[in-house]
């Protein structure tokens, strides 16, 4: 081995060491909203595993649904001089002051899962969120493709009235319905995103629509309502997934059990992995100075029985959903 | 025209009939019934079945309110009991599961009762503690996720049938009869009313008011835990975040619609349950009507206002007053 080669090898090794050391030194503070839903718990646990994968030191502060706790957490992250701050904002407004402090301390802030109001657009590096209008559209397009031009009466289980996710998921689905004359939303009621209400509302839909015979498909704004609706259909002697098609959003583990059992047809994933793309953006920004786009949209993946539902169930069930 | 004040209970029965008639108008198949897997199936059955949790809560709540108290924690107790039942369901037998859930409800009721009866904390404050903390306890039990189970015994509690009637309805009916037998078959009901009417006078005349108050909170906790088990059995899972959420308000509303005063005193078990059915008949009607969901709460508020106005003694006076005013007008 020549001296030159040895030198080159040791230089590469040193460089490798240096980069891995710098990645290990990256400390990210994450102000999480709380653990109000299974999805939120999954987001937290996925953030931890994504950080461990990249050898990033992740500090999570649980705000228990309170903005003042989030502001306190961000201030303490600034005081600890972390390399980046992740924020899953509980509300859209009131962040200007604390984000200015972060900016003055030259700490980049990445928003996860939710956006904040436009007055503060220059105060954060990027926002990693899912497009809930797009989620609704993906669900609608699956249905349009599946019924293939046949007439289809759809009943819709909406999320909580006034929740932006519910409004957007409805908007996205409606945009597809508007383009397909064969699709028609015949009934639409709120199921408050819960299993119990989803079941109760579906029971009344079935009775109002000729014992469910005139319903061709159910669209639910989340999987939990669909799990309830599936029970209502079974109790009414209908076969969910066969007599009535189902499509819902979120991709929580229990819907995969239903898909595997042939009782549900499709779900659109709201990925709990918001931190992964955020870490990548931060690493690129810190090492190469790459400024990411203002909005990083996560993928809204569609799952059906063709996607090995039990395997997905097994991979998701440990995440805290 | 003079509006005659109706006899006790007439207002509620009339309200229920009118709401059922409106339901029939918005949904022509409302009274249709058929058997489905050995269980009656139809919108009327839905009203009874979905009204069960609030009906059970109101059975406990009406006694608490009769003593001049209030229990804000029943929704949270439902969540704790449901979480307990769901976590034990697949590993233990049904009697153990139900006994544990009821024991939890009993403990919660005892806690509220001690705070109110022994430590003399105002009921609204005392039960607010468990209302807030209880949901947290339920979340601790479920670790924040929806705990599902497959135990057919427990599922039967929510989805099964006895002689064609859904099991929850039969349970609620049984609880109504049991409660009525205990408080009306003995002097207990009278003593509870005396405690609520004037606690000091009752105490001086030998009524054990402290024991009365303690026992009504325990009964309320028990009823709430039973409602929680049924709610969990219904969806085959315990949802600590949403089970029984805001149902304490529906239960209080049911009691008030049933004509029991929040100041305590005279109460009616049957009318409280009728109040729960009025609320549910209205909810089911809204779902069947196909109106946009934005209108749900508005419709509910208008109906509740109408039912309460129909019971108002002042409204009778007012109509007499306007009649007199019209007569005296030149």
Best mutation target among A45, A159, A185, A208 (most B Cβ atoms within 10 Å) is A208
pLDDT for res A4? 54
CA A145 to chain centre: 24
Give dist(CA A55, CA A67) in Å, integer. 29
Asked whether the predicted pLDDT for residue A317 surpasses 90, the reply is: no
Span A208-237, average pLDDT: 96
pLDDT for res B5? 46
Read off the pLDDT of residues B59-111 as tens digits, 9 standing for 90 and up. 999 999 999 999 999 999 999 999 999 999 999 999 999 999 999 999 999 99
Axis-axis angle for helices A253-260, A223-235 (nearest 10): 40
pLDDT for res A121? 75
Give dist(CA B269, CA B263) in Å, integer. 16
Read off the pLDDT of residues B86-100 as tens digits, 9 standing for 90 and up. 999 999 999 999 999
Read off the pLDDT of residues A66-124 as tens digits, 9 standing for 90 and up. 999 999 999 999 999 999 999 999 988 889 999 999 999 999 999 999 888 866 678 99
Query: Which helix (H) or strand (E) covers residue B36, if one does?
Result: strand B34-36
Q: Given A199, A203, A321, which is nearest B235 (Cβ)? A: A199
How close A161 comes to chain B (CA, Å)?
A: 7
Residues 6+ away with beta carbon under 8 Å from A94: A67
Q: How confident is the model at residue B318 (pLDDT cuts 50, 70, 90)?
A: confident
How close A21 comes to chain B (CA, Å)?
A: 36
pLDDT for res A64? 86
Q: How many contacts does A have with B, using Cβ atoms within 8 A?
A: 82
Q: How confident is the model at residue B144 (pLDDT cuts 50, 70, 90)?
A: confident
Q: Are A274 and A49 in contact (CB under 8 A)?
A: no
CA dist A175 → A157, A179, A303, B170 (Å): 17, 7, 21, 46
Q: How confident is the model at residue A21 (pLDDT cuts 50, 70, 90)?
A: very low
Asked whether the predicted pLDDT for residue A13 surpasses 80, the reply is: no
Best mutation target among B235, B281, B289 (most A Cβ atoms within 10 Å) is B235
A321 has a chain B CB within 8 A of its CB: yes
The reply to whether residue B29 touches residue A207, judged by beta carbons under 8 angstroms, is yes
Return the closest-CA partner of residue B220 out of B48, B52, B78. B78
Please name the residue of chain B whose CA is at the shortest distance from the CA of residue A38: B145
Chain A hits for B32, CB-CB cut-off 8 Å, are 207
pLDDT for res B311? 79
A303 has a chain B CB within 8 A of its CB: no
Best mutation target among A153, A196, A226, A320 (most B Cβ atoms within 10 Å) is A196
Phi, psi of A85 (to 5 degrees): -120, 130
Q: How confident is the model at residue B313 (pLDDT cuts 50, 70, 90)?
A: confident
Give A 151-170 residues with CB within 8 A of chain B: 158, 161
Please name the residue of chain B whose CA is at the shortest distance from the CA of residue A34: B144
Asked whether the predicted pLDDT for residue A12 surpasses 60, the reply is: no
How close B274 comes to chain A (CA, Å)?
A: 20
Write down the ipTM of this complex: 0.91
Share of chain B above pLDDT 90, in %: 84
Residues 6+ away with beta carbon under 8 Å from A161: A190, B293, B294, B296
Q: Are A43 and A113 in contact (CB under 8 A)?
A: yes
Span B48-54, average pLDDT: 97
Read off the pLDDT of residues B147-162 as tens digits, 9 standing for 90 and up. 999 999 999 999 999 9
Q: How confident is the model at residue B328 (pLDDT cuts 50, 70, 90)?
A: low
Axis-axis angle for helices B269-289, B10-26 (nearest 10): 20
Quote the tokens at residue B288: 């069947």
Q: How confident is the model at residue B11 (pLDDT cuts 50, 70, 90)?
A: confident
Chain A hits for B287, CB-CB cut-off 8 Å, are 189, 200-201, 204-205, 208
Q: How confident is the model at residue A125 (pLDDT cuts 50, 70, 90)?
A: very high
Chain A hits for B293, CB-CB cut-off 8 Å, are 158, 161, 188-190
Tokens 């609320």 belong to residue:
B279
Q: Are B145 and B234 in contact (CB under 8 A)?
A: no
Asked whether the predicted pLDDT for residue B6 surpasses 70, the reply is: no
Give dist(CA A234, CA A263) in Å, integer. 9
A196 has a chain B CB within 8 A of its CB: yes
Q: What integer best gives the mean pLDDT of chain A?
A: 91
Read off the pLDDT of residues A167-191 as tens digits, 9 standing for 90 and up. 999 999 999 999 999 999 999 999 9
pLDDT for res B154? 95
Q: Given B239, B293, B294, which is nearest A194 (Cβ)? A: B239
Angle at A138 between CA A132 and CA A142, to 5 degrees: 150
Residues 6+ away with beta carbon under 8 Å from A165: A132, A159, A221
Q: How confident is the model at residue A23 (pLDDT cuts 50, 70, 90)?
A: very low
Give dist(CA A284, CA A123) in Å, integer. 19
Span A136-154, average pLDDT: 97
Best mutation target among A36, A64, A163, A203 (most B Cβ atoms within 10 Å) is A203
For B257, counting Cβ atoms within 10 Å of its Cβ (0-12 exposed, 13-18 middle, 19+ buried), the class is: buried
The reply to whether residue A190 touches residue B293, judged by beta carbons under 8 angstroms, is yes
Q: Are B255 and B272 in contact (CB under 8 A)?
A: yes
Read off the pLDDT of residues B165-216 as tens digits, 9 standing for 90 and up. 999 999 999 999 999 999 999 999 999 999 999 999 999 999 999 999 999 9
Give the other-Cβ count within 10 Å of B83's Cβ: 29
Chain A hits for B40, CB-CB cut-off 8 Å, are none
pLDDT for res A118? 64
Residues of B with CB under 8 A from a CB of A: 27, 29, 32, 36-37, 39, 41-43, 46, 50, 139, 143-146, 148, 159, 231, 234-237, 239, 241-243, 284, 287-288, 290, 292-294, 296
Asked whether the predicted pLDDT for residue A48 surpasses 90, the reply is: yes
Query: Which helix (H) or strand (E) covers residue A217, if one does?
Result: strand A217-220
Q: Are A219 and A188 in contact (CB under 8 A)?
A: no
Read off the pLDDT of residues B263-276 as tens digits, 9 standing for 90 and up. 999 999 999 999 99
CA dist A17 → A13, A25, A170 (Å): 6, 12, 50
Return the closest-CA partner of residue B122 out of B134, B107, B131, B112. B112
Q: How confident is the model at residue A1 (pLDDT cuts 50, 70, 90)?
A: very low
The reply to whether residue B46 touches residue A207, judged by beta carbons under 8 angstroms, is yes
Give A 34-53 residues with CB within 8 A of chain B: 35-38, 41
pLDDT for res A132? 94
């Amino acid at each position: 081995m020549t001296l030159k080669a040895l030198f080159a090898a040791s230089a590469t090794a040193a460089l490798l060491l240096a980069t891995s050391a710098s990645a290990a030194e990256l400390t990210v503070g994450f102000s999480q909203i709380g653990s109000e839903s299974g999805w939120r718990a999954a987001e937290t646990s996925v953030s931890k595993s994504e950080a461990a994968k990249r050898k990033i030191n992740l500090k999570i502060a649980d705000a228990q649904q309170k903005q003042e706790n989030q502001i306190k957490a961000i201030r303490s992250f600034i005081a600890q001089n972390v390399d980046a701050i992740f924020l899953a904002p509980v509300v859209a407004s009131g962040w200007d002051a604390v984000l200015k402090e972060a900016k003055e301390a030259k700490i980049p802030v990445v928003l996860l899962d939710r956006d904040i109001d436009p007055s503060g657009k220059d105060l954060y590096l990027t926002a990693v969120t899912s497009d809930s209008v797009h989620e609704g559209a993906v669900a609608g397009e699956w249905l349009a493709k599946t019924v293939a031009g046949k007439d289809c009466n759809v009943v819709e289980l909406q999320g909580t009235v006034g929740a932006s996710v519910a409004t957007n998921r409805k908007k996205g689905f409606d945009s597809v319905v508007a383009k397909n004359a064969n699709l028609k939303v015949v009934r639409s009621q709120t199921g408050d995103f819960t299993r119990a209400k989803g079941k109760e509302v579906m029971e009344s839909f079935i009775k109002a629509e000729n014992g469910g015979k005139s319903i061709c498909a159910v669209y639910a704004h989340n999987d939990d309502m669909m799990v309830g609706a599936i029970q209502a259909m079974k109790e009414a002697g209908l076969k969910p997934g066969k007599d009535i098609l189902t499509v819902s959003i979120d991709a929580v583990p229990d819907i995969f059990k239903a898909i595997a059992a042939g009782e549900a047809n499709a779900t659109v994933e709201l990925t709990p992995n918001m931190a992964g793309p955020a870490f990548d953006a931060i690493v690129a920004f810190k090492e190469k100075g790459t400024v990411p786009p203002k909005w990083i949209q996560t993928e809204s993946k569609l799952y059906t029985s063709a996607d090995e539902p039990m395997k997905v169930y097994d991979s998701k069930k440990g995440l805290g959903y | 025209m003079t509006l005659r004040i109706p006899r006790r209970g007439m207002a509620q029965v009339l309200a229920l009939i009118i709401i059922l008639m409106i339901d029939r108008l918005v949904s022509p198949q409302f009274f249709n019934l058929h058997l489905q897997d050995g269980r009656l199936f139809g919108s009327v059955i839905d009203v009874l079945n979905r009204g069960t949790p609030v009906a059970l809560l109101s059975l406990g709540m009406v006694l608490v309110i009769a003593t001049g108290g209030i229990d804000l924690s029943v929704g949270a107790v439902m969540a704790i009991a449901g979480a307990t039942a769901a976590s034990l369901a697949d590993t233990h037998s049904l009697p153990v599961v139900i006994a544990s859930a009821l024991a939890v409800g009993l403990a919660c009721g005892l806690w509220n009762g001690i705070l109110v009866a022994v430590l003399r904390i105002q009921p609204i404050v005392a039960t607010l503690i468990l209302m807030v903390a209880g949901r947290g306890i339920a979340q601790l039990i479920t670790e924040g996720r929806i705990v599902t189970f497959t135990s057919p015994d427990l599922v039967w509690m929510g989805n099964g049938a006895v002689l064609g009637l859904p099991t929850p309805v039969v349970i609620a009916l049984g609880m109504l009869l049991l409660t009525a037998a205990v408080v009306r078959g003995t002097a207990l009901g009278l003593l509870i009313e005396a405690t609520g009417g004037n606690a000091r006078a009752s105490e001086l005349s030998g009524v054990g008011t402290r024991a009365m108050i303690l026992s009504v909170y325990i009964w309320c906790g028990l009823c709430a835990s039973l409602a929680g088990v049924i709610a969990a059995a219904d969806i085959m899972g315990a949802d600590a975040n949403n089970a029984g959420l805001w149902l304490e308000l529906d239960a209080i509303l049911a009691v008030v619609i049933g004509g029991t005063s929040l100041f305590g005193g005279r109460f009616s078990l049957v009318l409280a349950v009728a109040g729960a059915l009025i609320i549910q008949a209205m909810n089911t009607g809204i779902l069947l009507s196909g109106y946009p969901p934005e209108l749900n709460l508005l419709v509910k508020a208008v109906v509740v206002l109408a039912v309460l106005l129909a019971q108002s003694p002042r409204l009778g006076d007012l109509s007499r007053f306007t009649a007199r005013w019209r007569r005296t007008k030149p």
